[in-house]
């Protein structure tokens, strides 16, 4: 009886687990929170790098625009072979914020 409750609780909790990816480079693992330097040390140069500059307006308490804030988001693409996953690493401020894995890009 107690075991069945534990199994039911485990199955229900799986729905609340957030989806986080990691990327393996040889015997090293790249995870969210790694720096660009760390990723390049573990995996080498990516196949492609894309840089996007995003500007967001800044407003004061009265609602008037007082300037803009610029964010640089960088995307690195890794793929070992055409049969392997293609990994997209999204950096914000030089830190991996998201890892996406696609089977057939």
What pLDDT shows up at residue 103? 81
pLDDT in tens, 32-64: 999 999 999 999 999 999 999 989 999 999 999
Q: Is the pLDDT of residue 4 over 80?
A: no
d(CA 44, CA 36): 11
What pLDDT shows up at residue 84? 85
Handedness of CA 65, 68, 69, 74 (dihedral sign): positive
Q: Is the pLDDT of residue 18 over 70?
A: no
Q: What is the pTM of this model?
A: 0.69
d(CA 30, CA 25): 7
Q: Is the pLDDT of residue 76 over 80?
A: yes
What pLDDT shows up at residue 104? 65
- % the chain with pLDDT above 90: 62
Contacts of 21-27 with CB under 8 Å at 24 or more apart are: 21/87, 21/99, 21/100, 21/101, 22/99, 23/78, 23/87, 23/89, 23/99, 23/101, 25/78
């Amino acid at each position: 009886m107690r075991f069945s409750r534990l199994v039911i609780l485990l199955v229900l909790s799986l729905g609340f687990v957030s989806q986080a990816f990691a990327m393996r480079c040889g015997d090293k693992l790249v995870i969210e929170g790694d720096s660009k330097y760390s990723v390049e040390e573990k995996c080498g140069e990516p196949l492609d790098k894309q840089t996007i500059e995003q500007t967001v307006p800044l407003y004061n308490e009265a609602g008037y625009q007082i300037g803009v804030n610029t964010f640089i988001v960088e995307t690195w693409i890794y793929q070992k072979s055409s049969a392997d996953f293609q990994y997209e690493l999204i950096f914000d401020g030089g830190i991996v914020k998201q890892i996406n894995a696609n089977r057939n890009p």
